[in-house]
Structure 1
C-alpha cells in the first residue's frame, strides 16, 4: 500500500505530536516522582491523657477526638487559679497529650526517601512509626524531621504516634500553648535529593542595573552508585517570568554529598524593603540525563544590610530606623495555633499600626509568620532563646541547654536564612549568665556557629542591667561579642556608652510603652542608636497582669508577685488580642512620624477622684470615647496627640481651649472639661488654619449588633480563617463602649467557630465559650473553613438587640 504525499505529511505530523506528548508525559512523570511535600495536618486523633501504650500500632484510638492541625489543647480549656503553669502560663492547664494518625504509603514510594517534618511541637515531643521510636525533641519552637523510609510498610497503612509532654511546670515565662501547634509535612524524595535547609541564597552586590546573588547548594546522594548530575537553577520574578538561569554539572559519590557554589546575575533587580517587598523564586532541580530526580523552590529577596556606629543601619544602602515591636508567638483567642492566615493578619495589623520591625520574643517564630513578613514587608530580629543554661523557671530550656542549643540554633538558621525579612539573629534575652565568664563562652560559641552558617547578618541579644551592686560597664565584654548591642530598658545609658565604646551600635531591644518619645528622640538624633522595640506590640496570653493599672490606695503589684488571677494575659501591648489599636498606638505613630497626625482619647474616670496608678509596663487608661454614663457633670481629662503645632478642643461647638503640641511638648497635651453628652472635636491647627479633626460623639442606647468580616471569601482547605469583628451599636451605627452584652453565635455551612474573644484579659470565659460577653462594645469571632466549598452563614444574637448576619464564601482557591 502506498501513501500519498498528503497522507505521509499527515502521518508525520501525527508521529511528531505523539513524540511531543510522550516527551511531555515523560517529563511530568519524572517530576511527579521528585520533590513532593504533602500536608499531614488532617485526620489526627487526639487525647489529653497519660496513656503509656498509645505508641503501639494496634492501640485502640476509636474514641479519641478527631482534630486537624495546628492544635493547641491548652487554649481549649478554661483557666484555673491552681494551674501548674501559674500566671506566667496564663493559668491555662497543660499536661500530657497524645496524637495518632494513619499514613498509607503507596508502593511507588518503596525506593524513595520518606521523611516527616514537624514545624513546632510544644514540648518534649516523642515520635513513633509503627511502634518504633524515632526520637525526642525537647524544644518547643524549632522544627525537626525523622526519616521514615526503612520503617514504612509499603502498600498498606502505617501508624504514627506523637506524645507531647508539657506537664513539667512552670517551664515558660509566657503562654506557650500545648501540642502540635504548627504544621506537619511529609517529604517524598528520590535517593538523590535537595534539602531546602541546605540551600543558601544571599545578595552579594547590587547596582542600578544588576544584582549578584550567591547560591550555595548541597546535593545529597543516598544511592549505592556514583551520580553524574546537572543542577539547574531558574530565577523567577514576581510575575513568574524566568529572568535568569544557571546549569552546573557535579559528580556525587555514593552515600555522600556535594557542595555547589554559584554566582547568578539578576538584571534590573527589584530590591526588597518594607516599602517594596518584592520577592523572587529560585527553582532548583537535580537531573540525571533527562530524568529529574528532585526539585524544590526557594523564595528570596534581593537586599543588603550594613551597620556601623557612623551610619547606623543601611538597607540597600539607605538609612532605616527600626520602629519596632516585641511580639510573642500566640494568636490571641487561637492560643499558640499557628494558622497561616492568623500569622499574616498579625503582621498586617502591626504594619498598619506603623511598625516596620519585630523582634520574635523570645523564640523562633513559625514559618508562616516569616513568610508573611517577607510578603507584607516587615523587618525581623529572629531570636533563638529566652535563657541559656541558667534557668528562669524550674523546668525551662535550661535543663537541656548544653545538650540541645547547637542543634536548635542551627535549625533556626538553616530554616530562616533565606527570608529577606530577617535582618538580625538574636542569641538570647536577659540571660542570667550575662555578667560572667560562662556567658562570654556561650556567646562566643554561638556567634562563631552563626557566622559559619550565615555571615550576612549582624548578631544581637537583649541585655538588661546587673542590678544596683554591679557596674553596667561589666557587660562590655559581652557587648563586644555582638554586632548590635540590644539594651533592655537601659537606653538612657547610650551617651556615656558611646564615649566609652564609640564603635558600638545600639538598639533599644525592649522599652516601656510610655518611653516612646524619649527613646525615639535618641534614635532620631544619634546614628549609632538604630531603633526602639517596645514591650510589647500586641497584648498576649500569659505573663498575667503585666501592664495593669491600679486604683488609688491599692498596692501596685508587679506581675511576678503573687497571683493576678483572673488575669490570664498581658495588656501592655499597643494593640489588643483582637487586633484593636489602643490610643498609645496612635501616639507612637505620631511620634515616629509614620503618617498619622492627630488622635484623641479620654482618660477612664478612676474610682473616687484620684488618678490611676500605673505599673511599670502600663499605659494611660484611656479610650477614644465620649460616652460616659453616670459621669454627667464630672470633670474628665482629654488627651490629644498631634503632629500639628497647635490643637484646639471643642465640645458641642464651644471652644474648650487651645494648646501647643509641637516637638518641644512631645506631640501631646491634655484638656480638662466637664462631661456632657454631645460631640467632642479635636482640631489640628497649622499657620492659623484648622487642618484636620477627630470627632467623638456620645453613643445612644445599644440597639443592634454589627458583624464585620475581614474577608468575605476564604479558601475551602480546612485551614483558612475569617476574623469577624462584632460591634454593639446604637441606632446611628455608633459603637457603644458601655455595652457588655452577652452574644450568642450560630453558624451554618462548611465552617465552624474556631474561637471567640475580646480585649478583656481578666474574663473567666473560655475562648470556646458561646455565648460570650463583648468588652467595651466589641468582640471577635474567628471562623475556620472546612474542606468543602459553600456558603458559611454567621448569626449573632443578644437579648434586647437586633440580630446580625453575615455571609462568607468558602471556595477552592488556587495560589
Structure 2
C-alpha cells in the first residue's frame, strides 16, 4: 500500500503545475435584477439573490409589454440593470502563476470587480474579453462581481437579450504562457500534394529571462501527430515575444463545405523536462479566392455562396443559447441547401463558429451595424399614439472610443476559424451616404488588415451609387451589395476588376406567418391592418416581399458567376425588428423558417434550387371549408422536370419546369375536399417523388416527434419536440389552434415552448402553448443525470400523446 501511495505522490509531483486549460465556471452564480449599491464589495450580502447557471438571459423571461422602451426593435421585452456575483476558491499553488477570467459575451456595458477591485468596463455586448485576476487574488475564497447595464433603450434594431449570456472561463497558467488568442495559423500555399502551414506564436513571460523550447505539433482528426516543428527561443524578462514557424504538411486533408476536415495545432512551451504551458488551436487547410469573373473559388473549385443571414437568438431560449440549439439551426439551414451564414450584424459566439468549422459552413463575420452615427429615428405606434425614438446604441455612444479595440479583438479571436472567409465591417451604415463613410471605411480596413491579411473584407452597402461616388468600394476586397443586385450587374461592366457579393437580399417568403394564406388582396389588407397595425408601407412590403423576389435574385446569381453568391434575409425568424408590423407582433417575418425552426413555404424554394434530391412542395394546404368550387391558386416548388397535380383521382395536367421563365409552377384548381397529390417526374415521365395533402377533419389527437430521442446527460444538450394537431386519421389539421399542456417526468425539464406565431405573448417558459396553424414546439433538456425523460402532451378533446427521450450519451456527426 505504501508503494502505491508513493507512486501516486510521485505522479502528482510530476504533473505540470499549470495546465493552461480553460476551466468553465458557469455554475453557482448569484443574480438580481435592478441596481444594487456596493454589490461589488467582498462582504455584500447576496443571500436573497437568485442562483443561476450561465449562460443567462434575463430579458427572455418577459413579460412582453407595449410599455417596454425596447419597443418592437427589442421584442417589447424588459432590459435594465442586473448584477452577478460568484465565489472563487484559489489555492496558494495557483497564485504562484497567473489567473485570468474570460467572458465570452455580456450584453452589455459590463463592469467587473474582483474582491472589490474594479478590473474594467466593456460596452460591446458581443465580444470576448479577459481580465488578469492575479494581482488581486488571495488564497481561499475570492468574490467576482459583474454589473450589466442594458438600460439605454431602444438599444438595437433587434432583440439582444440582457446578461452574461455566453460562457465564463478561468485560465490558470504559469508565469510563462501562451496568452489569449496567442496563435495564428495560416496556409499561404495549398494543394492536394502539400500545404505550407505558417504558425505565429506569442509567448508571455512574467518571469526572469529564460530560454525555452517551443514545439508546434499538427494533429489530425484521428489524434495522430502528422508534423512537428521545434524551436529554441529566448524570452526576455516581463515581455511578450512573437515567433514564427513554417511547417510543410504532405497530402493534407483539405477543409471544404462537403468534407470539413480539421486539424489541431498543439503548442507546447517547455524548459528542460518541465512543461510551462500547452495551448491548442483548431484550424483547417484550405485556399479561398474571389475572382472578378469567376466568383468564389474554394480550393480552386468554383462554388456559389448560398447564404443566409442569422441573428444570434434561438427564439424561445433568447440569446443564452446552448450549443445544440446553434447546431440545430445549422442543420436546418444545410438541409435547405445553404452553405454559408452571415452573422448579422455582430460577432458570433465562439461555440457557433466552432460548429461552422465542424459542419463546413462558410462564414461572413460582421462587426458593426452602426459606426459613429446611430440609425435614423423611427416612428412607432403605441396605444398612446405615435412617437419617434432614436437608438441609444453602441454606434452613437461608443463607436468612436472603442471601434479599434473591438474590431481588433474580433479578428484576433476568430482568425483561425477555417469557416470564416470574409470579414464585414458594417451593415447599411448611415455614413456611406456621404464622404465621411469612405474615410471611416478606409480606417476600419487598415485596422483589420493589421491582424489578418488572409481573408476578404466587405461592407453590406445599401447605397452602391454613393459608395461609387465617394470611393468606398475602392478600399474593399469584396464589394457588398444589399438589395441592389441590378446595380451590381451594371457595375460589373463599369468596374471589371471589382469582386461582388450579395451581402443581403430578399428571401422567397411573403410577409406572413408560417401557414397563413391570403388570396383576396383587398380583404387581406383589411385583415392585416386589423391584426398587424403598421405604417402605410404595409402594402408596399406585401407586394415586394413575395417569393418572386427571391426567385429573381437567385436567377441573377446563378446566371452571373461574377456575383460570387448572396445571403438571404433571413434564415430563421428572430425576436424583435417586426418590420413592417408593430404591436402585437414581437418577432420578425423574414425567415425561411419560423421562430421555432419550422419551415415556411419559402424554405422549400431553396431546397428545390440548392439541393439535388428530387422534391416537390405545393401550397397552400387543402382545408378551405366554405370555398367549395372556388378557385384555389396552387403553387409548386420543385427540382423535377415535370409535375402533375391530381385531386381525388382527377388530373389537372402536367407542367414542365423548362417551359416557364419562373422558378415555380402554378395551377388554378377548384376546391374540392379530399386528396391532393403532387407528383414529380423526370423528362421520361418516370415518377421520382410525390407529396400528398389531405383535407383534414376536426382536431382529434396530438402527435409528438423529437429531433433527438437520445441526448447527452450533461444538462446542456437539447431535444426539440414538434407537436402536431392531427385528425382521427393522422392528417395534420393546418388551421388548428388548440391549447396543449405539457408535463415532464424523469431526468429532464422543459426549458422553452413556442409555436412560430409572431404575435403570441405567452411565456416561453410555460408548460403550455396554443398550437399555431397546427404546430407547437417543446424544448427538453436533461437535469444532468442519466435516465429517461417522459414528455406528455394533453389538450381538451384531444387524444394525448407521450414520448420518451433518453438522457445518456448522444451520437451525432457533422
Q: Give the TM-score of the pair, scaled to structure 1.
A: 0.89
In 1, the alpha carbon distance for the partners of 2:392 and 2:223 equals: 48
Deviation at 1:662, TM superposition (A): 2.1
The answer to whether the Cα contact below 8 Å between 1:587 and 1:599 also exists between their aligned partners in 2 is no
Residue in structure 1 matched with residue 384 of structure 2 by the alignment: none
In 1, the alpha carbon distance for the partners of 2:709 and 2:468 equals: 56
Selected match of 2:776 from 764, 779, 783: 779
Query: Structure 1 residues 21, 260: CA separation in 2 closer, same or farther (over 3 Å shift)?
Result: farther
Q: Secondary structure at the match of 1:195?
A: coil
Q: Secondary structure at the match of 2:430?
A: coil
In 1, the alpha carbon distance for the partners of 2:391 and 2:685 equals: 61
Deviation at 1:331, TM superposition (A): 0.6
> Is 1:666 the counterpart of 2:700 in the alignment?
no
String of CA shifts for 1:425-470, please: whole Å, max 9, x gaps: 000001111133322221112111211211110000100027xxxx
Residue in structure 2 matched with residue 567 of structure 1 by the alignment: 585
Deviation at 1:120, TM superposition (A): 0.5
Deviation at 1:245, TM superposition (A): 1.2
The answer to whether the Cα contact below 8 Å between 1:516 and 1:588 also exists between their aligned partners in 2 is no
Q: Secondary structure at the match of 1:107?
A: coil
In 2, the alpha carbon distance for the partners of 1:23 and 1:382 equals: 48
Selected match of 1:518 from 541, 547, 552: 552
Deviation at 1:577, TM superposition (A): 1.6
String of CA shifts for 1:189-223, please: whole Å, max 9, x gaps: 11111125121011121222221111000011011
> Is 1:189 the counterpart of 2:167 in the alignment?
no
Residue in structure 1 matched with residue 748 of structure 2 by the alignment: 751
Deviation at 1:19, TM superposition (A): 12
Deviation at 1:232, TM superposition (A): 1.2
> Is 1:280 the counterpart of 2:263 in the alignment?
yes
Residue in structure 1 matched with residue 602 of structure 2 by the alignment: 584
Alignment of 1:5-404 (within 5 A): 27=14, 29-30=15-16, 33-154=18-139, 156-223=140-207, 225-392=208-375, 393-398=390-395, 399-404=397-402
The answer to whether the Cα contact below 8 Å between 2:753 and 2:768 also exists between their aligned partners in 1 is no
Selected match of 1:537 from 571, 578, 581: 571
In 1, the alpha carbon distance for the partners of 2:566 and 2:626 equals: 40
The answer to whether the Cα contact below 8 Å between 2:481 and 2:488 also exists between their aligned partners in 1 is no
Alignment of 1:347-746 (within 5 A): 347-392=330-375, 393-398=390-395, 399-465=397-463, 471-472=465-466, 474-475=468-469, 477-513=471-507, 514=547, 515-544=549-578, 546=579, 558-559=580-581, 564-592=582-610, 594-603=611-620, 625-662=621-658, 664-692=660-688, 693-746=690-743
Deviation at 1:571, TM superposition (A): 1.3
Deviation at 1:25, TM superposition (A): 5.5
The answer to whether the Cα contact below 8 Å between 2:109 and 2:149 also exists between their aligned partners in 1 is yes
The answer to whether the Cα contact below 8 Å between 1:751 and 1:785 also exists between their aligned partners in 2 is yes
Deviation at 1:21, TM superposition (A): 8.7
Cα-Cα RMSD: 2.1
Deviation at 1:164, TM superposition (A): 0.8
The answer to whether the Cα contact below 8 Å between 1:41 and 1:183 also exists between their aligned partners in 2 is yes
Deviation at 1:812, TM superposition (A): 6.6
In 1, the alpha carbon distance for the partners of 2:686 and 2:677 equals: 12
Deviation at 1:806, TM superposition (A): 1.9
In 1, the alpha carbon distance for the partners of 2:664 and 2:145 equals: 58
The answer to whether the Cα contact below 8 Å between 1:182 and 1:339 also exists between their aligned partners in 2 is no
Query: Structure 1 residues 195, 629: CA separation in 2 closer, same or farther (over 3 Å shift)?
Result: farther
Residue in structure 2 matched with residue 553 of structure 1 by the alignment: none
The answer to whether the Cα contact below 8 Å between 1:244 and 1:264 also exists between their aligned partners in 2 is yes
In 1, the alpha carbon distance for the partners of 2:61 and 2:753 equals: 11
String of CA shifts for 1:301-360, please: whole Å, max 9, x gaps: 110111120221111111111001111111111011121111111111111111001111
In 2, the alpha carbon distance for the partners of 1:173 and 1:473 equals: 23
Deviation at 1:591, TM superposition (A): 2.9
The answer to whether the Cα contact below 8 Å between 2:642 and 2:685 also exists between their aligned partners in 1 is no
The answer to whether the Cα contact below 8 Å between 1:590 and 1:667 also exists between their aligned partners in 2 is no
In 2, the alpha carbon distance for the partners of 1:56 and 1:812 equals: 42
Q: Secondary structure at the match of 2:431?
A: coil
In 2, the alpha carbon distance for the partners of 1:196 and 1:630 equals: 66
String of CA shifts for 1:245-278, please: whole Å, max 9, x gaps: 1111110011001211011122211110111111
The answer to whether the Cα contact below 8 Å between 1:641 and 1:661 also exists between their aligned partners in 2 is no
Deviation at 1:633, TM superposition (A): 3.3
Unaligned runs of 5+ in 2: 376-389, 508-546
In 1, the alpha carbon distance for the partners of 2:784 and 2:176 equals: 34
Deviation at 1:179, TM superposition (A): 0.8
202-211 vs 142-151, which deviates more? Answer: 202-211
String of CA shifts for 1:722-755, please: whole Å, max 9, x gaps: 2121222233332222221111111122322111
Deviation at 1:814, TM superposition (A): 11
Query: Structure 1 residues 706, 476: CA separation in 2 closer, same or farther (over 3 Å shift)?
Result: same
In 1, the alpha carbon distance for the partners of 2:745 and 2:7 equals: 50
Deviation at 1:486, TM superposition (A): 0.8
Residue in structure 1 matched with residue 795 of structure 2 by the alignment: 798
String of CA shifts for 1:72-130, please: whole Å, max 9, x gaps: 11111121011101111111111111111111112221112111111111110111111
In 1, the alpha carbon distance for the partners of 2:811 and 2:160 equals: 33
Query: Structure 1 residues 505, 251: CA separation in 2 closer, same or farther (over 3 Å shift)?
Result: same
The answer to whether the Cα contact below 8 Å between 1:113 and 1:149 also exists between their aligned partners in 2 is yes
Deviation at 1:26, TM superposition (A): 5.3
The answer to whether the Cα contact below 8 Å between 2:82 and 2:148 also exists between their aligned partners in 1 is yes
In 1, the alpha carbon distance for the partners of 2:243 and 2:683 equals: 64
Query: Structure 1 residues 814, 637: CA separation in 2 closer, same or farther (over 3 Å shift)?
Result: closer
In 1, the alpha carbon distance for the partners of 2:87 and 2:5 equals: 41
Unaligned runs of 5+ in 1: 1-14, 547-557, 604-624
Q: Secondary structure at the match of 2:476?
A: coil
The answer to whether the Cα contact below 8 Å between 2:750 and 2:767 also exists between their aligned partners in 1 is no
In 2, the alpha carbon distance for the partners of 1:20 and 1:66 equals: 41
In 1, the alpha carbon distance for the partners of 2:634 and 2:277 equals: 64
Q: Secondary structure at the match of 2:429?
A: coil
Residue in structure 1 matched with residue 519 of structure 2 by the alignment: none
Deviation at 1:62, TM superposition (A): 1.3
- Count residues with an aligned counterpart: 755
Q: Secondary structure at the match of 2:233?
A: strand
In 1, the alpha carbon distance for the partners of 2:44 and 2:100 equals: 23
Query: Structure 1 residues 278, 229: CA separation in 2 closer, same or farther (over 3 Å shift)?
Result: same
In 1, the alpha carbon distance for the partners of 2:810 and 2:699 equals: 39
Q: Secondary structure at the match of 1:286?
A: strand
The answer to whether the Cα contact below 8 Å between 1:338 and 1:366 also exists between their aligned partners in 2 is no
Deviation at 1:58, TM superposition (A): 1.7
Deviation at 1:679, TM superposition (A): 1.1
Deviation at 1:775, TM superposition (A): 1.1
